[in-house]
Amino acid sequence: MKRIGVFVCHCGINIAGIVDVKKVVKEIGKYPGVVYSSDYQYMCSEPGQKLMRDAIKEKNLEGLVIASCSPNLHEATFRRNAKLTGLNPYLCEMANIREQCSWVHSDKEKATFKAIEIIKSLIEKVKFNEALLAVQVPVTKKALVIGGGIAGIQVALDIANAGHETILVEKESSIGGHMAQLSETFPTLDCSQCILTPRMVEVGQHPKIKLFTYSEIEEVTGYVGNFKVKIRKKSSFVDWKKCTGCGLCTEKCPTKVLSEFDRKMGSRKAIYTPFPQAVPNKPVIDKENCLYFTKDKCKICEKFCPVGAIDFEQKDSLIEEEIGAIIIATGYDLYPKEKVGEYGYGRFKDVIDGLTFERLLSASGPTKGEVRRPSDGKVPKEVVFIQCVGSRDEKALPYCSKICCMYTAKHAMLYKHRLPEGQAYVFYIDIRAGGKGYEEFYQRGMEEEGTLYLRGKVSKLFEENGKIIIWGVDTLSGEKIEIAADMVVLATGIIASPAVGDLAKKLKVILDSNGFLSEAHPKLRPVETLTSGIFLAGCAQAPKDIPESVAQASGAASKVLALFSGEKLSHEPIVAYVDEEICSGCGKCVSACPYNAREIDQKKKIATVNEVLCQGCGACISACSNGASQQRNFSKGQIISMAEAIL
């Protein structure tokens, strides 16, 4: 029989306040198999762990039970500690006498009795635990970044600069994301494209980055270090290998379409690049509006292309890659103003959202940077900005979208710069200006640029005689405010990019209740998901501004580099296995497994386990009708002895 050592933790008064620790130590000391039984204030502390190591050596312990908190917290700590002495870490178990005992009971006598019972059952388990070795898998040192906005660009550059090959997949024909649409960024008022495009070019030219734009993720299989990804490169009907980016096709195309990049304020052609600094600077043909595809006419682009790059027969292509780590950086979208009834359901032309206003402000935008009313092109003398549209609203988005206070302050300032005789009004509830230089920036707007901040929400607005009538309030003065504005800019809320739902299903990652990707721990693991090998960066995880997106991107990249730093990856060995003599090949385990870790070997006609995909959940064990499926260190016999110890 194994020589078992039991260590009972006080956890300050968390356990010792309810459970009589000394009594537990005494009683457990008498249990068959236990050769050492002691207690300590905080087992997880340095002295506590040293105590354990010393006891293991002195008493030649062959198995450990640490009676303390939940294994979720310190199982790894104690197992690492045991390993230092040469003891197999899987011969070390934790008995949870805190969350499952002292924290939920108030009767001291009964709680003490229960603690003893819990420890007894774990002792029974350890008696039959096998000394397991961690499963080792190779790592493909190639990363996949999904999303080519500022976050995706930063991750790709960081990983590629560390010497690993990186694939960047972007669904639009150019990288750059929403940052490319911005005019200037707060609080420095740097020209957005001027700071972005050098990074974009770097990505485009980097020897270690493979860029797939106008592409989407088709399928992902595998597991950390060993993913297989299928990328669908959508047909652009232009051979990008031949195309020189001369732009003649775009110039000659007769069809004009409202430009998505310009938020429908300007136009593009049916064959187009989204903006002049696009990377790669290669055009795509919009099938839905191209005269050839809709009416079988035209083909002017083909006629004029000097290198014969137009290919109307081009098909989508599927590219397969082997990947070690995936980073999701799919970015954000804006809460549609078409959903807000009291602000007109999007019907009023002069009521626009923040990104649209950015295009009006942008020197490369549809009005060349002059702020003009979308309805009649006149210069608006009074512009009203409304914050918290859709955000902080139980009926829409309950959360705060974080960046709107700052970009509204910026909008008001830039508007004033373009039109010194104009007046900006901002309706707000609170001002959130927490970043570096943010508070000073917003104060400057009020003091120097004369932006009038009115504290209150606008209840309704409507069009009348060419103006937008606004019914608002200023709670600070207690006055209802009515303004006849020339233009209204709604700071609509930030939502996760709509593609994220589908992607989450393909990658098997979780979304939170607001549709953003869930991080593994809100405080301490903000760049990882609960799926091993898949990381997050940027607004895909939560609304944030550019400096935070860049910081998070570098954080995600560092996790990937850690993953790639060793030759092999270790995986927990508490996995399922199949007793080949008993298995009948019925396949119930295959349908029970949520991780696709079970298969039927076609030759042997029995079930197999992929030890690296297996997460040790136990579903296949219960599904198996004749007990052929077993789990290491959770055998049926062990579970029965554990139960008997309590009963």
State the residues that interact with another protein by CB under 8 A.
Answer: 341-342, 345, 388, 392-396, 429-430, 455-460, 462-464, 469, 471-475, 478, 480-481
Q: How far is the CB of 340 from another protein (least distance, A)?
A: 9
Min separation Cβ 416 and another protein, Å: 25
Residue 404 Cβ vs another protein, minimum distance, rounded to whole Å: 14
Closer residue to another protein (CB): 418 or 467: 467
Question: In whole angstroms, how close is the CB of 394 to another protein at the nearest point?
Answer: 4
Nearest-angstrom CA–CA distance, 66 and 72? 13
Radius of gyration of the chain (CA): 31
φ, ψ dihedrals at 252, nearest 5°: -85, -15
CB of 517 to another protein, least distance (A): 25
* Number of CB atoms found within 10 A of residue 128's CB: 14
Closest contact distance (angstroms) between CB of 492 and another protein is 14
Q: Report DSSP state, residue 191.
A: E
CA–CA distance, 536 with 563 (Å, rounded to integer):
15
Which is nearer to another protein, 32 or 478 (by Cβ)?
478
CA distances from 520 to 214, 415, 443, 450, 596 (A): 30, 41, 37, 44, 21
Q: Who's near 471: CB < 8 A, 6+ residues apart?
A: 458, 459, 460, 461, 480, 482
* C-beta closer to another protein: residue 295 or 395: 395
Q: Which is nearer to another protein, 114 or 457 (CB)?
A: 457
**Token pair for residue 518?**
């869930």
The smaller minimum CB distance to another protein, of residues 342 and 502, is found at 342
What does the alpha-carbon distance between residue 487 and residue 466 come to, in Å, rounded to a whole number? 10
Nearest distance from C-beta of residue 387 to another protein, angstroms: 10
In the complex, minimum distance from the CB of residue 68 to another protein, in angstroms, rounded to a whole number: 39
Q: In 97-187, where do the E strands start and end?
A: 135-138, 142-146, 165-170, 184-185
- Output 416 or 457, the one with its CB closest to another protein: 457
Question: CB 543 → another protein: shortest distance, Å?
Answer: 17
Give the residue with the Cβ less far from another protein, 280 or 472. Answer: 472
Q: How far is the CB of 462 from another protein (least distance, A)?
A: 4
Query: DSSP secondary structure string, 480-542?
Result: EEEEEESEEEEEEPEEE-TTHHHHHHHHT--B-TTSSBPPSBTTTBTTB-SSTTEEE-GGGTS
Phi, psi angle pair for 633, to nearest 5°: 65, 15
Cβ neighbourhood burial of 566 (10 Å; 0-12, 13-18, 19+): exposed
- 279 versus 473: smaller Cβ distance to another protein: 473
- We find the least distance from the C-beta atom of residue 192 to another protein, in angstroms, to be 31
Q: Which is nearer to another protein, 429 or 511 (CB)?
A: 429
The span from the CA of 147 to the CA of 216, in Å, is 9
Minimum CB separation of residue 498 from another protein in Å reads: 23
The least distance separating another protein from the CB of residue 500, rounded to whole angstroms, comes to: 25
Q: Which is nearer to another protein, 395 or 603 (CB)?
A: 395
Min separation Cβ 490 and another protein, Å: 14
Q: How many other CB atoms are there within 10 angstroms of residue 312's CB atom?
A: 15
Contact by Cβ (8 Å): 103, 125:
no
344 vs 435, beta carbon nearer another protein: 344
CB of residue 464 vs another protein: minimum separation in angstroms? 7
| Residue 464 C-beta-side C-alpha neighbours within 13 Å | 9
Bridge partners (DSSP) of residue 534 are 326
Among residues 84, 64, 68, 86, the alpha carbon closest in space to that of 24 is found at: 68
Closest CA to 475 of 516, 440, 429: 429
Minimum distance, C-beta of residue 413 to another protein, in the bound complex (Å): 24
Alpha-carbon distance of 466 to 482, in angstroms, equals 16
Give whichever of 69 and 494 is closer to another protein, judged by the CB atom: 494
Query: Of 135 and 396, which has the nearer Cβ to another protein?
Result: 396
Neighbour tally for 30: CB within 10 Å: 8
Sheet holding 209-213, edge to edge: 209-213, 165-170, 142-146, 325-328, 534-536
Structure tokens that stand for 267 in this block: 């136009």
Q: Which residues contact 452 (CB under 8 A, 6 or more apart)?
A: 423, 424, 425, 426
User: 3-class SS at 74?
Assistant: helix
Task: Record the tokens describing residue 80, joined without a space.
Answer: 């690492």
Enter the tokens of residue 544: 């944030």
- Whichever of 44 and 481 has its CB closer to another protein, that residue is 481
Do the Cβ atoms of 142 and 185 come closer than 8 Å?
Answer: no
Instruction: Tell me how far apart the alpha carbons of residues 153 and 196 are, in angstroms, rounded to a whole number.
Output: 9
| CB closer to another protein out of 371 and 458 | 458
Nearer to another protein, 473 or 539 (CB): 473
